[in-house]
Amino acid sequence: MKRLHALVIGAGIGGMAAAIALRRAGLEVSLFEQTVAQREVGAGIQISPNASRLLGRYGLGDAMARVAVRPTAIVFRRWQDGRVLGREELGDSIESQFGAPYYHFHRADLIALLADAFGPKDIKLGRRLVDIEQDESGVTAHFQDGASERGDLLIGADGIHSCVRERLFGEEKPRFSGQIAYRGLAPAERVAHLRLPLDVTNWVGPGGHFVHYYVSSGRFLNFIAVSEEASWTREQWSDRGSVSDAVSNYQGWHPQVATILTAVDETFKWALFDRNPLPRWTQGRVALLGDACHPMLPFMAQGAAQAIEDGATLAASLRNMAYDVPRALQAYVALRKLRTTTLQERSQAFSKSFHLPDGPEQIDRDRTFAREGLRGDAEAMRRLYGHDAESATAAQGER
Ligand SMILES: Cc1cc2nc3c(=O)[nH]c(=O)nc-3n(C[C@H](O)[C@H](O)[C@H](O)COP(=O)(O)OP(=O)(O)OC[C@H]3O[C@@H](n4cnc5c(N)ncnc54)[C@H](O)[C@@H]3O)c2cc1C
């Protein structure tokens, strides 16, 4: 049988993980990225066991362990006095429960190890997709430089502003969530006096929250400071931010917050956008993946993890459907949609509850944090972290 040729658009975390998974499933893969050099923002990312399990299977276990930090717990603290509101164990506890580690990465480290696994020279940089055409026998990608490529299927892993999505289903701007995030990386020696444990700490308070955790084998402390802002008028959705503006959003908060914020030389400011769940992710030989089809607010730290799951399910669906492309893409969407929609909705709900003013609703929320943390009871944790995006697909193939 002729080997299928997949065109993957976008070499972010989702596109690269999908490219690796598709190649493992026996496809020839061409991976295209619009930027001329792969780069990631100077920021951290949490990768939970549902995703690290898949990356481990792709042969990245040792490489991940070398550059990542394995946090001991997620700790929720009250904005004003730092009182601990809830704690969920990670570290050995989560790894033995779900058979894969919870990791914190510097984004550049994660991008580099995925690129190494796919083959950095195989990533076609400086190729911006501008149009697609498909017929019964294949799909053609047209690039801004005038070149075209023909394949059997095309995967749009081109992020929240996806061109592939727009070509399939028309233009629809993502929605500004009313929240902005300042992000930064503080050299560990500048915060050493705080003696922070290897936790991910999440300070919650009126109108904002503040998350920090170590990355790059403990060399940097990453922070994400989310606060509310009425509008985002700038054209671009990320911008250099001012440390003093970030600090002013946390007046009256525990002094540790300002200490961490002022330990960086520069900070970047991001507008947080999302979309309602999309009715369709696929048409014929083209399908969407990752933020292109299910962008989610970062409150559950699942956007990239879900993009990695997408790639595994996509590859397994192609195998299970005997490489019948349109059927396999539909099977992929059927397997992924409910899970990612649920996580989009839960992330949106947390965007309100993390920022509650002090009062009866906040007291209720704090009781929930104390009882079951963020991810819910043991069954909810099993559904989130125990999910195996490859074997769930195999089970569907057997039905
Ligand atoms: C503040 C914040 C914190 C977060 N924290 C976490 C976390 O802890 N854990 C987690 O799992 N997720 C987290 N996320 C979400 C996560 O970052 C995203 O879900 C994930 O990076 C999406 O990956 P992607 O590959 O789908 O899209 P992207 O990372 O957006 O990649 C898309 C790629 O496509 C390229 N591209 C775009 N258009 C074209 C074109 N026309 N032609 C060619 N290439 C193109 C882009 O240049 C880019 O490289 C966070 C998000 C934010 C904003």
Is residue 8 in contact with ligand 1, taking CB distance under 6 Å? Answer: no
Residue from 8, 13, 167, 308 to probe ligand 1 pocket by mutation (most atoms less than 8 Å from CB)? 13
Residue partners of 1: CB distance under 8 A and separation at least 6: 323
Question: Band of the pLDDT at 238, cuts 50, 70, 90?
Answer: low
Question: Band of the pLDDT at 399, cuts 50, 70, 90?
Answer: very low
Alpha helices (H) along 59-106: 61-67, 91-98
Is residue 163 in contact with ligand 1, taking CB distance under 6 Å? Answer: yes
Residue 229 in this model has a pLDDT that exceeds 70: yes
**What's the 260 CA to ligand 1 centre distance in angstroms?**
25
Task: Please check whether residue 336 is in contact with residue 309, taking contact to mean a CB–CB distance below 8 angstroms.
Answer: yes
Q: What is the pLDDT of residues 108-123, one digit of tens each?
A: 999 999 999 999 999 9
Residue from 38, 158, 179, 212 to probe ligand 1 pocket by mutation (most atoms less than 8 Å from CB)? 158
Please, what is the average pLDDT of the chain?
Answer: 92
The CA R_g of the chain, rounded to the nearest whole Å, is 21
Half-sphere exposure at residue 276, Cβ-oriented, CA atoms within 13 angstroms = 3
Which range (99-103, 199-203, 375-379, 384-388) has the least confidence? 375-379
Q: What are phi and psi of 358, to 5 degrees?
A: -60, 135
Residue partners of 394: CB distance under 8 A and separation at least 6: 316, 320
Better pLDDT: 272 or 256: 256
pLDDT of residue 398: 36
Q: What is the pLDDT of residues 279-298, one digit of tens each?
A: 999 999 999 999 999 999 99
Q: Is the dihedral of CA 368, 371, 373, 379 positive or negative?
A: negative
Residue from 45, 127, 200 to probe ligand 1 pocket by mutation (most atoms less than 8 Å from CB)? 45
Give the nearest ligand 1 atom to 10 CA: 34
Residue 99 in this model has a pLDDT that exceeds 90: yes
Q: What is the pLDDT of residues 22-67, one digit of tens each?
A: 999 999 999 999 998 877 667 899 999 999 999 999 999 999 999 9
Q: From 345, 176, 180, select the one nearest 274 (Cα to Cα).
A: 176
pLDDT of residue 395: 55
Averaged pLDDT, 346-350: 88
Whether residue 213 lies in the annotated active site: yes
Is residue 200 in contact with ligand 1, taking CB distance under 6 Å? Answer: no
Question: Band of the pLDDT at 393, cuts 50, 70, 90?
Answer: low
pTM, to two decimals: 0.95
Give the nearest ligand 1 atom to 306 CA: 11
With b meaning 16 or more CB within 10 Å and e meaning fewer, what string describes 20-30? bbbbbbebebb
C-beta neighbour count of 327 within 10 angstroms:
14
**What's the 84 CA to ligand 1 centre distance in angstroms?**
31
Indicate which residue of 58, 102, 103, 213 is catalytic. 213
Residue 163 in this model has a pLDDT that exceeds 70: yes
Question: Band of the pLDDT at 236, cuts 50, 70, 90?
Answer: low
**Tokens matching residue 228:** 């509310």
**Which residue's alpha carbon is nearest to atom 17 within ligand 1?**
304
Q: DSSP code of 290?
A: G
